[in-house]
Structure 1
């Protein structure tokens, strides 16, 4: 207990007011606890409501797809896949035809029909003498029995640690997940994009992946080798790091590496958005832009660029949906058009700008992807690939509805309150 001197205006005699600092500290602690608990509690409520809603209205409606389409970028053939069944067939064909090496890295690998087919193909490749290396994220696959990832000695498996020591301390260097999806076969053919491995993704999710055939496969090979050598155990083999004869290619990989605090994917987005003169088409599963990316999009719209962002109306992560909505008013007011994908989950991470610049990869436009996880995006400057991705965007637009600002302003008052209460969770996603 302490006292604070006070001098009366009437008689100027000193008066001491007692302050119970223990009570003040308890009040401050409870207030802080309430402030921290409120967004978590709100998130729990919306997750519960979404669980009921998803049971009644599952995300399983049919959606438009397109057959694989190819174009040449310099000496490399690039093929766009927008349907999981087509992609998996091509990936399995590549593994089954492997003669020397197979590198597979994935975030989620389900123990289901598709997942077991991939496992069998890898084991058969090893049985015929192919060197097989696999990386998968331990945390993303906690619900999968560890025994599923048991492989014969010819398949080298690296389980990216499920629990990272920096997670509780928010240490970026030691808390990021391996969110990448890469397949490289014989240094000749490679794949990258948003697709994980599982039966659900084969036909029920709309996603985008890219296959490379030719010298630019080095971009993905090099990414896998660096990741393997960085995280392998001492008893696991060291992969050879080879150089590339391609300098200043129009197709390059941008790789986020939290352990080195390297995050170039955010940079390529900002640079490309700043250059835009005609149009920007962005497709994202989870769209929670930081201040700089949001400002760049608003600046582009202000100078007359047609800026369109296409996201799922309902995704598989309802909390991410609610946090994304906190940006809608500012974006709509600034002239950015928002399209909501209907009836199914769209998981693609793509963008194309001015019919020249494109990116396809694993990174969402949110904090986790741009400044947290291990990610990889291809940056491609090519009119042919841009045309293909614009065609895919228009296809997805046909299964979307545009959100207008008038509609957004008419949303329920409780919705507005929930958005504000949950806003403090944005730095975690």
Structure 2
């Protein structure tokens, strides 16, 4: 019996290995022949939410121009945190702008994730010593008794300049993201800027390092009722973004529009979406037809049959990688941030999302959703059921990997 079990396990592992290898080959060939991305976009537009102003970006060049402009106008301090930071023209422009700010007397604090940047030359992250420049990489490996608490990646992307402006959303830093990816980011001014500052300060102080100062932690002067900040903090086993989504989906009465780069929901998230569709809510989800992670695509497709049968409508974004992490519900509630609908984001990584209670912000996101829908192809249940048997088999073989992503 032990031999049978062992041989069965080895056979399954071999099939999984062959499937993953085949997908890697397909992905490599696909990326070599990929054409420049062409997709619709809307110019950034500002709307008011309580005591704050929200500007939504759908194109990287627009966003990076405003981020760099804010950095170059800084007079006191800059908090800069990113997941991926490429050593290309855009990445170098950000690096130089931050160095120039430090030179003119601005206190600059930088955080980046080591694991996400393993393919970036190490020399890119060598900065000249300067009293105004403090850099704290999110370590590839952290020492600690709990693996679950220490293994989370810093998937956040935020910039806070002085007390004036903050940026948060899905965009990493690099030339590809400037023109070839459809992502969503928000610029925030007003009361919510303190919350963004506090989010950076709390992360910075959570990982004390020798030769790096702790940042002063002061209380907020204003409670912002229209915008709330949610932060996943694996070290403290705090993951509120998942709960935020589940609560909002549970309240939906008319429509739910989700746009996500990677859709690998857990059982509770699937159940919430299906229950919403069952009670008559128009549930629509935009995902990339082909993302930058082919394995994530195939794991995501394992949920399509269940979602389509339950009345959820799926739209496949064409011609570009859609990397947004947004949702809008019933014309009143919205979220923009860094968290995907997968286990890595909702139960593993350091993430940050804003939750906005504002009809004007929701209307803007619905306009963007309509624009993205015009560049998407709806996937029907009949079409999905007619896919080749080998594809169905490969999807089932990869099912155990869902818990990893």
SS in 1 for 2:229: strand
Q: Distance in 2 between matches of 1:40 and 1:224?
A: 40
Q: Report the TM-score, using the length of structure 1 for normalisation.
A: 0.91
SS in 2 for 1:144: coil
2:111 pairs, out of 135, 141, 166, with: 135
In structure 1, the residue matched to 2:303 is 327
Alignment of 1:350-369 (within 5 A): 350-369=326-345
> 1:59, 1:345 within 8 Å by CA — same for their partners in 2?
no
2:383 paired with 1:407: yes
For residues 238-275 of structure 1, the C-alpha deviation after alignment (integer angstroms, 9 at most, x for no partner) is: 10111112235210110001111100000000000000
2:141 paired with 1:158: no
> 1:362, 1:375 within 8 Å by CA — same for their partners in 2?
yes
In structure 2, the residue matched to 1:110 is 86
Alignment of 1:75-154 (within 5 A): 75-152=51-128, 153=130, 154=132
Q: Distance in 1 between matches of 2:24 and 2:146?
A: 24
Q: Report the TM-score, using the length of structure 2 for normalisation.
A: 0.97
**Offset of 1:164 from its aligned partner?**
4.3
> 1:282, 1:350 within 8 Å by CA — same for their partners in 2?
yes
Q: Distance in 1 between matches of 2:19 and 2:214?
A: 47
In structure 2, the residue matched to 1:260 is 236
SS in 2 for 1:140: helix
Alignment of 1:5-404 (within 5 A): 24-56=1-33, 58=34, 60-152=36-128, 153=130, 154-164=132-142, 171-247=147-223, 249-404=225-380
For residues 340-373 of structure 1, the C-alpha deviation after alignment (integer angstroms, 9 at most, x for no partner) is: 0001100000000000000000000000000000
| Number of residue pairs the alignment of both structures matches | 403
In structure 2, the residue matched to 1:10 is none
**Offset of 1:74 from its aligned partner?**
1.0
Deviates more, 1:294-303 or 1:243-252: 243-252
Please list every run of 5 or more consecutive structure 2 residues that lacks an aligned counterpart in the other structure: none
Q: Distance in 2 between matches of 1:267 and 1:104?
A: 27
Decide which structure has the larger Cα Rg and report it.
1
Deviates more, 1:152-161 or 1:76-85: 152-161
**Offset of 1:59 from its aligned partner?**
5.3
Q: Distance in 2 between matches of 1:405 and 1:26?
A: 41
For residues 61-118 of structure 1, the C-alpha deviation after alignment (integer angstroms, 9 at most, x for no partner) is: 3100110011011111110000000000000000000000000000000001000000
Q: Distance in 1 between matches of 2:256 and 2:81?
A: 30
The alpha-carbon distance between structure 1 residues 142 and 364, as it changes in their structure 2 partners (threshold 3 A), is same
The alpha-carbon distance between structure 1 residues 40 and 218, as it changes in their structure 2 partners (threshold 3 A), is farther
Q: Distance in 2 between matches of 1:191 and 1:47?
A: 34
**Offset of 1:232 from its aligned partner?**
3.5
**Offset of 1:219 from its aligned partner?**
1.6
Over the aligned positions, Cα root-mean-square deviation in angstroms equals 1.4
Consecutive aligned runs of 4 or more in structure 1 exceeding 2 Å deviation:
24-41, 53-56, 163-166, 245-248
SS in 2 for 1:151: coil
**Offset of 1:26 from its aligned partner?**
4.1
Q: Distance in 1 between matches of 2:189 and 2:18?
A: 49
> 2:332, 2:362 within 8 Å by CA — same for their partners in 1?
yes
Please list every run of 5 or more consecutive structure 1 residues that lacks an aligned counterpart in the other structure: 1-23
